[in-house]
Structure 1
């Protein structure tokens, strides 16, 4: 019998309009179970870092990805355009060093990015 793996859980700030839009977009382009911070089960919360509310996370059966690493893993599990971007970024020397600072710039300006989105 083949074990059925649960879809990765995309954990996001459901009080943030930009974050919610991003989670919905990812869900429309990949296979995820979006879970807002307000909906976390005790078991899910226990798998996250103590400061989990500071960024996005991806919970798989085998791993927990947080912040920039989570965003990279989410994009890698989406459609062809997003996967291609991740493949190209991973070819750049030092991409792992720049991933978190770039994520922080995006996260720090969520209200700015949200202005460009229409719901």
Structure 2
């Protein structure tokens, strides 16, 4: 399959959550993603997701599903916000994955508050070529 045949990764997020929507808009402005709110998911897309899919963000690529902290990490890498070498280094530590997921959960558990903070400001995008 050529890269021209591949679709943009689908960023699956809670479209009832202000912070989640802001994050998805930011990702689309800064990278190549197709946003897909929970309310828009097809049955086929839902089948690809983990059982507790409504608990966090996901990134669906042609062959992989990234969820929660892993999805966030992948978005940050694909938007050139964080160089992949940093995550490569961090992944060398045995407890990094658990710490990443703990941090994700800490932020996700405060999304109502964060939604109030970011709702006053639109996401900022970088100029793409």
Q: TM-score, normalised by structure 2?
A: 0.82
Larger relative helix fraction: 1
Any unmatched runs of 5+ in structure 1? none
What is the CA distance between 1:83 and its match in structure 2? Answer: 2.6
Partner of 1:12: 13
**Count of residue pairs brought into register by the alignment:** 116
| 1:1-119 correspondence runs (5 A) | 2=2, 4-79=5-80, 82-84=81-83, 87-92=85-90, 93=93, 94-117=95-118, 118=120, 119=122
Q: Distance in 2 between matches of 1:42 and 1:115?
A: 32
User: Which segments of 5 or more consecutive residues in structure 2 lack a partner in the other structure?
Assistant: 123-129
Determine which structure has greater relative contact order: mean sequence separation of CA pairs < 8 Å that are 6+ residues apart, divided by chain length.
2
After TM superposition, which residue ranges in structure 1, 4 or more long, deviate above 3 angstroms?
none
Quote how far apart the aligned CAs of 1:89 are: 4.3
What is the DSSP-based 3-state SS (H/G/I as helix, E as strand, rest coil) of the residue aligned with 1:49? coil
Q: Whole-Å Cα distance in 1 between the matches of residues 24 and 103 of structure 2?
A: 18
TM-score (norm 1): 0.89
